[in-house]
């Protein structure tokens, strides 16, 4: 059963003593991660247009080198689905089509060119780490990054769908292939499609099954897929070419639907391939170098940061050192025929869940891969390509899950616009243009909301000492993604370097965007790890654009509702109690007297009444109106008035349950 590790008395460290002390935990986790990594490495390689062994080379080299070069304790290094789009794009630009039409001379030439590009990108990653540029990963706005990942997920699904159906030779641009889906369904090979559909069903169903059956939690879905798909492939006799008929149609089966692997023990070393550096003389090669470098570096930094947050011992990765390690490993992998690698988040999360303690779990997963592929290549040859494609379709779906769109929409409509724009432009063009489109749109939104151009890349900060242990940073003008890097450096210098408690005052800023709201929360965790206090002030003077805690905020008047209720004096306590229950943050009460329409007609005297005035958010207003309409207005004479009003501090009217006040009234 995979469970989160129980924290020992001291924090585990990946040194010599940690290797022996936590050998059992790391070895078991490495074995379980290997079971996930094996099929994914093969599938990602094929989807990238590389030989299947390329992904294995990458995972082995990355796991061993990074274990000793990086201080990231729980990340797993290896090929990732997020780089498929770049890799296959590079292969196709140099004239190859991967395994879709057989492995010919054009594919080999494109493959060697891609290896040279991988080497050049790795050198840039090493320089990136040496010059301590890891902080540049902080520049990219969150919505644009998530939009890019969602687009990658969609492209993976589109590209792998025909492979899962057994359609040979399908390829092209994502939007072109999307139009061809009806054709792919018509051309599907039923036997291969059966393997693909069953494999995909397992990938979607297995997480729910594991939750219900405790002893199955340790078994990963990709392993279950292989345990089902390999026997299905043997049942269809895919090792031998032969035709079969179904519904008066003849279909072909054979080894072209299986993973191509070495045919002898240690045969993997025969597949070592060296880069063709002459490809770097072509101008188009440097476009792909920059894409491998920028996207690979960004994904690796984001994954390493995410895993640090999940680390039960809250150990912190040195991002510059980790980037040097990834660059060195990429240099070695590309030098012998491997795919680009990053810190991979799915396998890293599994590593944590399986109880890993130190970075040696990553090493063990690589050693298991080496032993398996070197000693059992003929068994791996029996894996159907459709099963691997189904795993990647599921991976793509996870990247572009509908909940991602819903989550971004809840943060703010402008975030959804950036997210969707980035995704659509990536689908229509490429990754760099798509991310650039998202960044430009975000800048335009900020400028339209009053961000001064002078503060777009430079924060205006004032530092003051509060006492001997505490300082305050006062932000003016704006605090947005594009000026966050110097803002962060100031926070680190004043607080973490000097070991002082820190207050960040944002009351003087005109605009604070979503990215900065998230990153300030991350900084709070960094201060906690150092035993320091970190406080953000002034947010209540800014108006949030949405109800989410991380929503962007702007200085200005916020629109809320003023509700005025005039009712019989006997209803006073019951109405106030109900309003408090609905989340009001305060009320004004006035005793008065008056007469309604019926009293005026009868000429009777005015009666004692109570006037209750509340300023509340739209959601609270709606609850009050529904209550009065359904339960009060039919029984009592009540006057209800609602007005739109503007307030300076919108946060003062965020719904709360004032239990103490309710208790006092009772």
User: Region 592-621: what's the mean pLDDT?
Assistant: 85
User: Considering the entire predicted model, what is its pTM?
Assistant: 0.81
- Give the tokens for residue 492: 């680190």
Q: Could you write out the DSSP letters of every residue in 307-358?
A: HHHH-TT-----HHHHHHHHHHHHHHHHHHTPPP-EEEHHHHHHHHHTT--S
The answer to whether residues 409 and 382 belong to one domain is: no
- CA distances in angstroms from 195 to 2, 45, 250, 270, 390, listed in the order given: 28, 20, 18, 30, 9
Is the per-residue pLDDT at 5 higher than 60?
A: no
Bridge partners (DSSP) listed for residue 589? 612
SS3 content of the chain, % helix, strand, coil (to 5): 60, 15, 25
Question: Is 246 a member of any domain?
Answer: yes
- Output phi, psi for 320, to 5 deg: -70, -45
Q: Answer whether 434's CB lies under 8 Å from 147's CB.
A: yes
**Does the structure show a pLDDT above 60 at 44?**
yes
Which pLDDT does position 656 carry in this prediction?
Answer: 52
- Tell me whether residue 74 is in a domain: yes
162/309 same-domain check: yes
3-state secondary structure 70-84: CCCCCCEEECCHHHH
For residues 367 and 601, give the distance between their C-alpha atoms in angstroms, rounded to a whole number.
94
Say if 4 falls within a structural domain.
Answer: no
Report which of residues 619 and 28 the model is more confident about: 28
pLDDT value of residue 99: 59
User: What are the Cα distances from residue 165, in Å, to 170, 190, 231, 311?
Assistant: 11, 7, 18, 39
Least Cα distance to 594 among 568, 633, 564 occurs for: 568
Please tell me the predicted confidence (pLDDT) of residue 606. Answer: 83
CATH number of the structural domain spanning residue 464 = 3.30.750.24
Strands (E), 158-278: 242-246, 249-253
Q: Is residue 3 part of a domain?
A: no
313 or 115: whose pLDDT is higher? Answer: 115
Residues in a beta bridge with 591: 610
Cα–Cα separations (whole angstroms), residue 225 to 36, 52, 381 = 11, 18, 15
Q: How many other CB atoms sit within 10 Å of the CB of residue 148?
A: 27
- Do both 547 and 618 map to the same domain? no
> Which residue has tokens 């089509």?
97
What is the C-alpha to C-alpha distance for residues 297 and 143, in angstroms, rounded to an integer?
18
- Taking 50 as the threshold, does the pLDDT of residue 8 lie above it? no
Nearest to 122 by CA among 84, 39, 82, 66: 66
Measured CA to CA, the distance from residue 499 to residue 519 in angstroms comes to: 19
3-class SS of residue 467? coil
Contact call for residues 207 and 350 (beta carbons, < 8 A): no
Judge whether 1 lies within some domain. Answer: no
Based on the fold, state whether residues 429 and 391 are members of the same structural domain. Answer: no
Please say whether the dihedral angle defined by the alpha carbons of residues 123, 126, 128 and 131, taken in this order, is positive or negative.
negative
Q: How far is CA 67 from CA 243, 304, 362, 431, 647, in A?
A: 49, 14, 7, 30, 55
| β 470-479/501-512 pair status | parallel
How many structural domains compose the chain? 4
Task: Give residue-wise pLDDT tens across range 472-509.
Answer: 999 999 999 999 999 999 999 999 999 999 999 998 89
Percentage of the chain beyond pLDDT 70 is: 95
Which pLDDT tens digit goes with each residue over 327-346? Answer: 999 999 999 999 999 999 88
Residue 310 lies in a domain: yes
Tell me, yes or no, whether 10 lies in a domain: no
- Contact indicator for 483, 459 with CB cutoff of 8 Å: yes
Where does residue 140 fall: left (phi above 0), alpha (psi -120 to 50 degrees), or beta otherwise?
Answer: beta
pLDDT at residue 2, rounded to an integer: 45
Length of the chain: 666
Q: What is the pLDDT of residues 352-408, one digit of tens each?
A: 999 999 999 999 999 999 999 999 898 999 999 999 999 999 999 999 999 999 999
Do 236 and 323 fall into the same domain? yes
CB 550 within 8 A of CB 515: no
Decide: helix, strand or coil at residue 647: strand
Same domain, 393 and 406: no
The CATH number linked to 646 is 3.30.70.120
Of 136, 25, 129, 21, the C-alpha closest to 74 is: 25
Note down the domain range covering 66: 16-250+262-399
Residues 95 and 119 in one domain: yes
Q: Are residues 234 and 292 in the same domain?
A: yes
Among 117-121, 277-281, 520-524, the least confident range = 520-524
Mean pLDDT over all residues of the chain?
90
């Amino acid at each position: 059963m995979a469970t989160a590790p129980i924290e020992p008395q001291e924090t585990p460290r990946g040194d010599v003593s940690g290797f022996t002390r936590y050998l059992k935990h790391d070895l078991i986790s490495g074995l379980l991660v290997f079971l996930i990594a094996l099929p994914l490495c093969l599938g990602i390689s094929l989807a990238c247009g590389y030989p299947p062994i390329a992904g294995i080379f990458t995972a082995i080299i990355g796991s061993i080198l990074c274990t000793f070069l990086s201080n990231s304790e729980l990340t797993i290094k290896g090929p990732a689905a997020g780089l498929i789009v770049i890799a296959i794009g590079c292969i196709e630009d140099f004239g190859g089509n991967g395994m879709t039409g057989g492995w010919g001379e054009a594919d080999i030439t494109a493959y060697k060119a891609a290896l040279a590009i991988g080497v050049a990108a790795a050198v840039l990653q090493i320089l990136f780490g040496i010059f301590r540029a890891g902080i540049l990963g902080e520049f990219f706005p969150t919505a644009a990054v998530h939009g890019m990942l969602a687009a990658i997920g969609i492209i993976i699904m589109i590209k792998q769908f025909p492979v899962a159906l057994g359609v040979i030779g399908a390829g092209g641009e994502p939007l072109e292939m999307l139009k061809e889906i009806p054709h792919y369904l018509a051309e599907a090979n039923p036997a291969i499609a059966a393997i693909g559909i069953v494999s995909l069903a397992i990938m979607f169903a297995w997480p729910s099954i594991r939750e219900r059956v405790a002893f199955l939690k340790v078994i990963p879905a990709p392993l279950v897929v292989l345990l089902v798909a390999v026997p299905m492939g043997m049942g269809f006799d895919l090792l031998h070419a032969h035709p079969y008929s179904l519904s008066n149609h003849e279909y072909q089966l054979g080894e072209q639907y299986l993973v191509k692997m070495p045919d002898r023990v240690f045969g993997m070393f025969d597949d070592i391939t060296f880069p063709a550096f002459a490809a770097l003389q072509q101008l188009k090669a440097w476009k792909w170098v920059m894409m491998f470098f920028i996207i690979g570096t960004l994904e690796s930094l984001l994954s390493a940061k995410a895993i640090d947050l999940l680390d039960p011992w809250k150990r912190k990765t040195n991002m510059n050192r980790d980037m040097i390690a990834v660059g060195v490993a990429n240099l070695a992998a590309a030098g012998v025929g491997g795919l680009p690698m990053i810190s991979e988040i799915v396998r890293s999360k599994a590593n944590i869940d399986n109880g890993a303690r130190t970075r040696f779990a990553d090493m063990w997963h690589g050693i298991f891969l080496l032993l398996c592929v070197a000693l059992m290549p003929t068994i791996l040859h029996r894996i159907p390509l459709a099963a691997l494609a189904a795993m990647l379709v599921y991976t793509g779906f996870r990247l572009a899950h509908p909940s991602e769109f819903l989550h971004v929409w809840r943060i703010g409509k402008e975030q959804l616009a950036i997210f969707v724009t980035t995704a659509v432009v990536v689908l229509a063009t490429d990754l760099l243009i798509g991310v650039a489109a998202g960044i430009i749109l975000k800048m335009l939104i900020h400028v339209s909301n009053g961000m001064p151009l002078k503060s777009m890349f430079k924060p205006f900060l004032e530092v003051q000492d509060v006492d001997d242990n505490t300082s305050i940073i006062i932000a003016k003008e704006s605090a947005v993604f594009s000026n966050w890097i110097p803002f962060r450096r100031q926070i680190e210098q004043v607080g973490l370097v000097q070991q002082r408690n820190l207050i960040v005052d944002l009351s003087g800023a005109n605009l604070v965007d979503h990215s900065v709201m998230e990153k300030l929360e991350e900084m709070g965790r960094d201060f906690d790890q150092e035993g320091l206090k970190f406080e953000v002030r002034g947010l209540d003077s800014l108006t949030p654009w949405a109800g989410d805690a991380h929503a962007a905020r702007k200085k200005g008047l916020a629109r809320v509702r003023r509700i005025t209720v005039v009712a019989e004096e006997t209803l006073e306590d019951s109405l106030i109690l109900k309003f408090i229950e609905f989340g009001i943050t305060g009320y004004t009460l006035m005793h008065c007297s008056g007469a309604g329409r019926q009293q005026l007609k009868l000429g009777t005297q005015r009666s004692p009444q109570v006037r209750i005035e509340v300023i509340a958010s739209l959601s609270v207003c709606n609850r009050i109106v529904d209550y009065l309409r359904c339960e009060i207005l039919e029984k009592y004479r009540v006057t209800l008035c609602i007005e739109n009003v503007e307030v300076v501090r919108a946060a003062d009217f965020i719904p709360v349950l004032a239990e103490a006040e309710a208790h006092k009234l009772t």
